[in-house]
């Protein structure tokens, strides 16, 4: 296995030949770094810009905050089976089901970035603890209750879902970033 490399914008390249955990984690870290790149160096105006003439309220700040929530849901609540941390623990989700998206418009850029960075780090720690604690032959196959106990998902499923979640939203981030300042790239 070779040393990790980064691309021209600082994203860690996923390993070309590695065990399953390293491969899935590598692709997730690449997708996380893509979101960081697409939101890098933007102030409040850039992070809050919406597509003109569209009903969508999606913004880059909203993407950061939404993915912070998704990180904490899948890795803290589901994988670690712990309570949701702030700011999610005090949200009245019945009053605003899209609070993670809508509240981002009022957040300072440093705050929304810190929320995301903290959530990602918490996720990495939860994954490391879950894999270390599993004494079976397939730590990625261990299941955890999700959707309020309505189903069970494996660690493998969580990692794959998170790669998909980021990849989908990074497509949105591409469009929004191009609108902000013309920056394009994969």
- pTM of the full predicted structure? 0.94
Nearest-5° angle of CA 161, CA 167, CA 170?
140
Residue 100, domain extent: 20-181
Residue 183 near residue 177, CB atoms below 8 Å: yes
Residue 2 maps to a domain: no
Average pLDDT of adjacent 10-residue blocks, the chain of 186 residues:
81 94 97 98 96 83 98 98 96 95 95 98 97 88 92 97 98 95 86
Distance CA 23, CA 115 (A): 26
Residue 169 maps to a domain: yes
- Other CB atoms within a 10 A radius of the CB of residue 173 amount to 22
SS3 of 152, please? strand
Residue 10 maps to a domain: no
Report pLDDT for 137. 86
Residue 11 maps to a domain: no
- Other CB atoms within a 10 A radius of the CB of residue 161 amount to 15
Whichever domain contains 78, its CATH number is 1.20.120.450
Residue 32 maps to a domain: yes
Residue 8 maps to a domain: no
Report pLDDT for 52. 80
Residue 13 maps to a domain: no
In the chain, the number of structural domains is 1
* Alpha helix ranges (H) inside 3-106: 20-39, 44-48, 60-71, 99-102
- How far are the Cα atoms of 64, 76, 121, 150, 176 from residue 48, in angstroms, in the given order? 11, 27, 24, 35, 10
Residue 9 maps to a domain: no
SS3 of 151, please? strand
């Amino acid at each position: 296995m070779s040393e990790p490399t980064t691309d021209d914008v600082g994203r860690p390249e996923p390993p070309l030949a590695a065990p399953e955990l390293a491969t899935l984690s590598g692709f997730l870290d690449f997708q996380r770094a893509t979101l960081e790149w697409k939101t890098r160096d933007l102030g409040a105006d850039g992070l809050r810009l919406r597509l003109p003439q569209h009903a969508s309220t999606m913004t880059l700040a909203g993407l950061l905050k939404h993915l912070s929530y998704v990180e904490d849901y899948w890795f803290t609540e589901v994988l670690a089976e712990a309570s949701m941390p702030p700011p999610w623990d005090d949200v009245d989700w019945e009053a605003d089901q899209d609070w993670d998206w809508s509240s981002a418009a009022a957040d300072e850029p440093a705050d929304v970035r810190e929320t995301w960075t903290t959530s990602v780090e918490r996720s990495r720690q939860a994954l490391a603890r879950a894999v270390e604690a599993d004494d079976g032959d397939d730590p990625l196959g261990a299941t955890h209750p999700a959707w309020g106990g309505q189903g069970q998902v494996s660690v493998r499923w969580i990692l794959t879902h998170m790669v998909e979640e980021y990849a989908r939203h990074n497509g949105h981030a591409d469009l929004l970033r191009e609108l902000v300042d013309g920056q394009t790239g994969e």
